[in-house]
Structure 1
Amino acid sequence: MKKVFILMLLLNFNLKLAAQPNCDCASELDFVYEQVQTTASFKDQIRGEKKAKFEENYLSLRAQMNDELSKLDCFWALNQLMYMVQDKHVALTENPLGLSEKSLQDSSFLAGYRDSHAFKNFPKTDRNVANLAKSLEGKRLDEVEGIYKIGSKLKMGVYRVTPDSLVGVILSSQVEIWEPGQIFAYLKHSNIQSHYDIIHYGTSQKNLKFSKAQFFDHGMLFPSVLKEDLESNYAWIDKPEEEAYQLSNLTDDVQYVWLNSFNRVTKPAERDALIAEIPRGLTAKNLIIDLRNNGGGADKISLPILKELKKKKVNIYVLTNFFTGSNAEMTTVRLKDDFDAVQLGQRTYGAISYGSNYGKSYNSPSGLFNFYPTDMRQREFIAYEEVGVQPDIKLNQESDWVRQTVEYIQSVND
């Protein structure tokens, strides 16, 4: 079996990782090995030959553990052990490094951090940052290489180091805990076209995170990580939460509602108000249900809305993006299956079959990493796990998606 430490290969491509602290990766691996087997997804999927393959992968990784393994490579190895399990709710992250919201407001703390071993020895590129930035100028929006804005205060350059691996480096920073040359992300092509497995650091706490099969589309790597020359990001809906759950009229024949979340804590009142409005307020024969940015929630919020819609004779069109996840994905499937709804936009996130009732997580033996398991399953959605729900109509990035949907409705009704 080939070694899976893809990040090790990057050591030969102008990166400075040698000074990163090491960890007892064997113990961390044993911890993840035990924890992942408790998940609902593992129990569902890893049986027979797959179980034997999982054991083989574990033993191969275990044999490669040594005292010289960096925290970064250890983190990659731990995620590789979990990789066989299709479950985007399961997560392994590094515990924060002491960079809290409060400490980031303390100038003396920040000065001390910038003088610390952790800051001075943070992974860096050996590439000249100015030359790197110049070489990445003018990259197309559909190329993952290029210059990105991370929020409003950081810029990152993503460049290729092997045919299937890339690195994201900070090019400029107005944030004290980041400086040009430091590495923000490592990307590797996944087995799905236009998707990347990404190890990246938290913007404010610089703790390691892993994003499996992250969809790159039209200059958007994450909602807050966008190509600098991206003028309009129509896939992402950017408006105040107060506008959610409001039924509005777009034309005489088309109405619209944005369901931004199915959170069981904050949304019951909004849900109840919408349900009360539907009998008399939903008068058009076409309804656009916008589920963009909806990361999910609970059936107790989403199902009563669908039950009320069942009483109306209305054509439903559902808008989704890659950040439509979990219960919002279930809702998308239910709308398509039970209402014959047409789905437009992007594929959904693919975190649909599993979840956590209790939200518990567990620290590794060293306290360095944290494991978040799943304890619930809905097997009827397993076909969509990690691949998402694919749209019937893909929308382009050239104009507003609601407007495109209205035009589509008009075209099919002419």
Structure 2
Amino acid sequence: MKKVFILILLLSSNLKLAAQVNCDCASELNFVYEQVQTTASFKDQIKGENRARFEERYQDLRAQMTNKQSKLDCFWKLNQLMAMVQDKHATLTENPSDLTEESLQDSSFIAGYRESEGFKNFPKTDRSVAELTKSLEGKSLDEVEGIYTIGSKLKMGVYRVSSDSLVGVILISQVETWEPGQIFAYLKHSNIESHYDIIHYGTSQKNLKFSKAQFFDHGMLFPSVLKEDLENNYAWIDKDEEESYQLSNLTDDIQYIWLNSFNRVTKSEQRDELIAQIQTDLTAKNLIVDLRNNGGGADKISLPILKELKKKKANIYVITNFFTGSNAEMTTVRLKDEFDAIQLGQRTYGAISYGSNYGRSYNSPSGLFNFYPTDMRQREFIDYEEVGVQPDVKLNQESDWVEQTIAYINLQGEESKKR
């Protein structure tokens, strides 16, 4: 089971957490306790000794909630209980309040928000922003500490507050709802190397979110949260939507396709067009299937493509990154098991065994939080939940990943000739 998610960050003396919105956390905890037990993952995993540990965790947390808690403290504690179950599809988030998409376009509302108690008492660091910026300059891309860009209008400094905990603070803001010194994220080392459990705020609506076992690699914390001196992010594929689902020729014996999504609503027509193209145009000995950035979708999109590929008997090489998730992870496993494919790149996201058929979610008693449960399971993939599908060949961040894959295929061909 995952190690206890303790609140070191919230107790650190260099954070200002006063005057935040309080909530009746005991009732919120009871809500999560009841809801999480409805999930397919809970029913699979929390039995016997695990059930006893779950109940013990629940009782320990209840004992901490005799008084009202800050919203942030409450959110940490609720996710401690959630963390007992390995299920990256099931989530708990804060419901956005006043910062709606419509209000964010209203300059008078923004001016009022900046004068509000919510803005003035938003969690802040006690560190000098100027001194913090100076101390974080020059951190290497492989250190999680350092300066990050969040999109094009925010900069964040991530600094360590204990041996296993860090805080992300806004250093520069061109967004009216954020100001330097406000805290954007709390990070804690996961029980997986180079992974972090992260509580962070939405960039627009500033609602709390929890990212479980987030992989940090070569300056990328999230796709839009990158070290400021990261020149090339080869793990992330930066292409236009229309470039997907197109079979193309790379060399005389290598062809390529980028499958960016398996969304059942938007990809049905492209699936059919691709299958027709595979039937007539897939002639190369080797095929690269690029699943980077593919957050998943439905078997009704992915399986017909695999069925058509099986008729061609090409050598398949599949590229994945940490943002290859859900049905795209299932596709990765199927390619490896049924096609003897070689996987290159990064591990996948690890949200593979469970899913939501109905897409329903439920608000907590206070309305502060929203719980999104899972109601589907595919037990054959349980070993990959949260840990992801590990690549056979890890690709480095020094050059283009498709080019590295081509080089690997050519090397395999040369070695085959020698044998």
Task: Give yes or no for TM over 0.5.
Answer: yes
In the alignment, the residues of structure 2 paired with residue 318 and residue 19 of structure 1 have an alpha-carbon distance, to the nearest angstrom, of 51
Q: Which residue of 2 aligns with 1:49?
A: 49
Q: Which residue of 2 aligns with 1:79?
A: 79
In the alignment, the residues of structure 1 paired with residue 306 and residue 4 of structure 2 have an alpha-carbon distance, to the nearest angstrom, of 45
Paired amino acid for 1:55: E
Displacement, 1:11? 3.1
Q: Which residue of 2 aligns with 1:28?
A: 28
Q: Which residue of 2 aligns with 1:278?
A: 278
Displacement, 1:102? 1.8
Do the aligned partners of residues 367 and 288 (structure 1) sit closer, same or farther apart at CA in structure 2, a change above 3 Å counting? same
Identity over aligned residues, as a percent?
A: 84
* 1:134 paired to 2:122: no
In the alignment, the residues of structure 1 paired with residue 161 and residue 9 of structure 2 have an alpha-carbon distance, to the nearest angstrom, of 9
> Per-residue CA shift, 1:253-295, capped at 9, x if unaligned?
1000000000000000000000011111101100000000000
Paired amino acid for 1:397: Q
In the alignment, the residues of structure 1 paired with residue 198 and residue 352 of structure 2 have an alpha-carbon distance, to the nearest angstrom, of 20
Displacement, 1:199? 0.3
Do the aligned partners of residues 63 and 348 (structure 1) sit closer, same or farther apart at CA in structure 2, a change above 3 Å counting? same
The equivalences for 1:93-104 within 5 A come to: 93-104=93-104
In the alignment, the residues of structure 1 paired with residue 116 and residue 8 of structure 2 have an alpha-carbon distance, to the nearest angstrom, of 25
In the alignment, the residues of structure 1 paired with residue 189 and residue 173 of structure 2 have an alpha-carbon distance, to the nearest angstrom, of 27
Displacement, 1:68? 4.2
* 1:287 paired to 2:287: yes
> Does the 8 A contact of 1:11 with 1:17 survive in 2?
no
Q: Which residue of 1 aligns with 2:417?
A: none
> Does the 8 A contact of 2:9 with 2:166 survive in 1?
no
SS at match of 1:187: strand
Q: Which residue of 2 aligns with 1:228?
A: 228
The equivalences for 1:109-124 within 5 A come to: 109-124=109-124
Q: Which residue of 2 aligns with 1:218?
A: 218
> Per-residue CA shift, 1:342-392, capped at 9, x if unaligned?
000000000000000000000000000000000000000000000000000
Q: Which residue of 1 aligns with 2:61?
A: 61
Q: Which residue of 1 aligns with 2:405?
A: 405
Q: Where does the alignment leave 5 or more consecutive residues of structure 2 unmatched?
A: 415-419
Displacement, 1:36? 0.1
Q: Which moved more, 1:296-305 or 1:17-26?
A: 17-26
The equivalences for 1:382-401 within 5 A come to: 382-401=382-401
Q: Which residue of 2 aligns with 1:246?
A: 246
In the alignment, the residues of structure 1 paired with residue 273 and residue 260 of structure 2 have an alpha-carbon distance, to the nearest angstrom, of 15
Displacement, 1:329? 0.1
> Does the 8 A contact of 2:8 with 2:165 survive in 1?
no
Displacement, 1:313? 2.0
Q: Which residue of 1 aligns with 2:300?
A: 300
In the alignment, the residues of structure 2 paired with residue 13 and residue 301 of structure 1 have an alpha-carbon distance, to the nearest angstrom, of 51
Paired amino acid for 1:20: Q
In the alignment, the residues of structure 1 paired with residue 309 and residue 265 of structure 2 have an alpha-carbon distance, to the nearest angstrom, of 22
In the alignment, the residues of structure 1 paired with residue 196 and residue 362 of structure 2 have an alpha-carbon distance, to the nearest angstrom, of 27
In the alignment, the residues of structure 2 paired with residue 68 and residue 359 of structure 1 have an alpha-carbon distance, to the nearest angstrom, of 31
SS at match of 2:22: coil
* 1:185 paired to 2:185: yes
Paired amino acid for 2:171: L
Displacement, 1:6? 3.2
Q: Which residue of 1 aligns with 2:198?
A: 198
In the alignment, the residues of structure 2 paired with residue 6 and residue 312 of structure 1 have an alpha-carbon distance, to the nearest angstrom, of 52
Displacement, 1:67? 2.5
> Per-residue CA shift, 1:155-190, capped at 9, x if unaligned?
000000010000000000000000000000000001
> Does the 8 A contact of 1:202 with 1:208 survive in 2?
yes
Do the aligned partners of residues 115 and 5 (structure 1) sit closer, same or farther apart at CA in structure 2, a change above 3 Å counting? farther
> Does the 8 A contact of 2:353 with 2:378 survive in 1?
yes
TM-score (norm 1): 0.98
* 1:38 paired to 2:34: no
> Per-residue CA shift, 1:289-345, capped at 9, x if unaligned?
000000000000000000001110200000000000000000000000000000000
> Does the 8 A contact of 1:23 with 1:67 survive in 2?
no
Displacement, 1:97? 1.9
In the alignment, the residues of structure 2 paired with residue 346 and residue 314 of structure 1 have an alpha-carbon distance, to the nearest angstrom, of 23
In the alignment, the residues of structure 2 paired with residue 113 and residue 238 of structure 1 have an alpha-carbon distance, to the nearest angstrom, of 35
> Per-residue CA shift, 1:228-263, capped at 9, x if unaligned?
000000000011000000100000010000000000
> Does the 8 A contact of 1:13 with 1:161 survive in 2?
no
> Does the 8 A contact of 1:156 with 1:169 survive in 2?
yes
Displacement, 1:18? 1.8
Displacement, 1:9? 5.0
Paired amino acid for 1:164: D
Paired amino acid for 1:46: I
SS at match of 1:311: helix
Displacement, 1:13? 3.0
> Does the 8 A contact of 1:114 with 1:120 survive in 2?
yes
Paired amino acid for 1:69: Q
> Does the 8 A contact of 2:9 with 2:165 survive in 1?
no
> Does the 8 A contact of 2:40 with 2:376 survive in 1?
yes
Q: Alignment length, in residue pairs?
A: 412
Q: Which residue of 2 aligns with 1:343?
A: 343
SS at match of 1:62: helix
Do the aligned partners of residues 314 and 147 (structure 1) sit closer, same or farther apart at CA in structure 2, a change above 3 Å counting? same
SS at match of 1:127: coil
Displacement, 1:4? 5.9
State the Cα RMSD in Å: 1.1
SS at match of 1:367: coil
Q: Which residue of 2 aligns with 1:265?
A: 265
SS at match of 1:255: strand
In the alignment, the residues of structure 2 paired with residue 71 and residue 402 of structure 1 have an alpha-carbon distance, to the nearest angstrom, of 45
Displacement, 1:69? 1.8
In the alignment, the residues of structure 2 paired with residue 218 and residue 57 of structure 1 have an alpha-carbon distance, to the nearest angstrom, of 35
Do the aligned partners of residues 389 and 31 (structure 1) sit closer, same or farther apart at CA in structure 2, a change above 3 Å counting? same
In the alignment, the residues of structure 1 paired with residue 413 and residue 223 of structure 2 have an alpha-carbon distance, to the nearest angstrom, of 34
